[in-house]
Amino acid sequence: MRELSREPPISRPSAAPSRPLFVFGCPRSGTSVLTLMLGRHPAIAIPYESHAYNRIYPIVRKHGEPRDPAGRARLIAAVLGSDYVRQWAPPPTLADTAAAMRRDDFHGIVEGMLAGWTARQAKRRWGEKTPQHTLCWREIRSGFPDMQVVHLVRDGRDVALSYRAAHFGPKHVYALAHRWVEYLEAAEAAGRELGAESFLTVRYEDLLRDPEAELRRVCTFLGEDYRAEMLAHHEGDIRYPTDERNEANLRRPLLSDNAGKWRAVMTPREVRIFEAVAGAALERYGYPLTVPGARVPAWEAWSCRMLEHPPRRLAAMLRNRQGRRLAWERLRLELLVRRLASPA
């Protein structure tokens, strides 16, 4: 793929390649802070989210891979120019990506993009963190059968509070509970398939309580030495293009009290609804329930889905300028990939 380059690629480290690392977890579970911690390791580089498998790969699978070198080059450029990837610091280059590619399919583009960016950081092991990729684990595994996954779990009631305040996603506790369970079930399926040598679950609350012990456990799982600088994730120039509140938190030491906020914020009805939907999942991960026998009658579930949630979601969508920009980008990608995959 070197014929795509217009600038000299950086030379890659000579060490043998390490296993691909993916950080999974429901959005708003603390995956960003874990990513910054892992990224402080001298061997590991993890850029900002790529959304390659939840946004771009479905389009490629639908229309097919470009068959000619020129078409592949245009697809690579489209991936590198996509909204999230452009926000990497620094953005990946065509030269580094092309030099690091070892295969010509979509997985090769992702691998080349991450490996080239990692080499630019003078590190030897790349990682990828896009929470939505948790739901795409089968597609990712088809391209990276030797993948390792660190799965971060946070109390779903706290996840719901943070998710509800985000510019994306569900806005009602009933829908948020179902979303949290959906992510957990996907991750659990991945864990059963991958096995203990390739899949590790970390609880966010344990990371807050004893970050060194949890990071040591993660490093042992990854086959890497523990490094104390991982605890200094908040120091230096933090450039992580998330929302303002989240970015401000990432610039601070771990917030040890950033757990259990739902107790003071959620209404009794919201707690009951969440625990009725997700109680079994909460208990599986050691989060005690507070409403014995919580249930949501059929009429109330219908009201949550059809009457209460839609106006909240619509209001959030109208405020979400990034969502509208991403919708236009998806349409452009759809048209481009369809054209590239069409026979000449």
Which residue is listed with tokens 């939840």?
Answer: 54
Tell me, what amino acid is at 36? L
| Three-point CA angle 49, 53, 54, nearest 5° | 85
Task: Identify the top-confidence range among 19-23, 71-75, 253-257.
Answer: 19-23
| Whether pLDDT at 249 is above 90 | no
- Residue 23 bridge partners (DSSP): 129, 150
Cα-based torsion angle of the residue sequence 58, 202, 119, 27 in order, rounded to the nearest 10 degrees:
40
The answer to whether residue 289 is domain-embedded is no
Mean pLDDT over each residue of the chain, to the nearest integer: 90
| Whether pLDDT at 322 is above 90 | no
Q: How many angstroms separate the Cα of 209 from the Cα of each of 38, 212, 257, 259? A: 17, 9, 9, 10
Residue 244 backbone zone (phi > 0: left; psi -120 to 50: alpha; other: beta): alpha
The answer to whether residue 275 is domain-embedded is no
The whole-number pLDDT of residue 240 equals: 65
- Please say whether the beta carbons of 234 and 252 come within 8 A: yes
| Whether pLDDT at 113 is above 90 | yes
The whole-number pLDDT of residue 13 equals: 41
Q: Provide the percentage of residues in the chain whose pLDDT is more than 70.
A: 90
Dihedral (CA of 43, 48, 49, 50) sign:
negative
Question: Which structural domain, as residue segments, surrounds residue 198?
Answer: 2-163+180-257+320-341
Looking up residue 40, the CATH number of its domain turns out to be 3.40.50.300
| Whether pLDDT at 241 is above 50 | yes
- Report yes or no on whether pTM surpasses 0.85: yes
Q: Is the pLDDT higher at 8 or at 290?
A: 290
- Residue 14's pLDDT band (cuts 50, 70, 90): very low
Q: What's the pLDDT tens digit per position in 147-194? A: 999 999 999 999 999 989 887 889 999 999 999 999 999 999 999 999
| Whether pLDDT at 5 is above 50 | no
| Whether pLDDT at 11 is above 80 | no
34-39: which pairs have CB atoms within 8 A and are 24 or more residues apart?
34/129, 34/150, 34/152, 34/202, 34/207, 35/127, 35/129, 36/233, 36/234, 36/238, 36/240, 36/250, 37/211, 37/215, 37/230, 37/231, 37/233, 38/127, 38/150, 38/218, 38/230, 39/127, 39/233
The answer to whether residue 159 is domain-embedded is yes
The whole-number pLDDT of residue 317 equals: 80
The whole-number pLDDT of residue 6 equals: 46
| Whether pLDDT at 323 is above 90 | no
The answer to whether residue 174 is domain-embedded is no
End-to-end CA distance of the chain: 21
The whole-number pLDDT of residue 341 equals: 80
Which residue is listed with tokens 């009725």?
Answer: 276
- Residue 19's pLDDT band (cuts 50, 70, 90): very high
The whole-number pLDDT of residue 344 equals: 52
The answer to whether residue 104 is domain-embedded is yes
| Whether pLDDT at 10 is above 80 | no
Q: How far is 328 from 306, CA to CA, in rounded Å?
A: 27
| Whether pLDDT at 343 is above 70 | no
| Whether pLDDT at 315 is above 90 | no
| Whether pLDDT at 4 is above 50 | no
The whole-number pLDDT of residue 169 equals: 85
| Whether pLDDT at 58 is above 60 | yes
The answer to whether residue 301 is domain-embedded is no
| Whether pLDDT at 210 is above 90 | yes
Q: What's the pLDDT tens digit per position in 24-57? A: 999 999 999 999 999 999 999 999 999 999 999 9
Our count of domains for the chain comes to 1
| Whether pLDDT at 268 is above 80 | yes
| Whether pLDDT at 308 is above 50 | yes
The answer to whether residue 295 is domain-embedded is no
Dihedral (CA of 199, 204, 208, 210) sign:
negative
| Whether pLDDT at 9 is above 60 | no
Q: How far is 23 from 32, CA to CA, in rounded Å?
A: 9
Rounded mean pLDDT, 287-296: 96
Among the listed residues 189, 49, 199, 44, the one whose alpha carbon sits nearest the alpha carbon of residue 132: 49
The answer to whether residue 228 is domain-embedded is yes
Which residue is listed with tokens 């089968």?
Answer: 138
- Residue 313's pLDDT band (cuts 50, 70, 90): confident
Q: How far is 78 from 337, CA to CA, in rounded Å?
A: 9
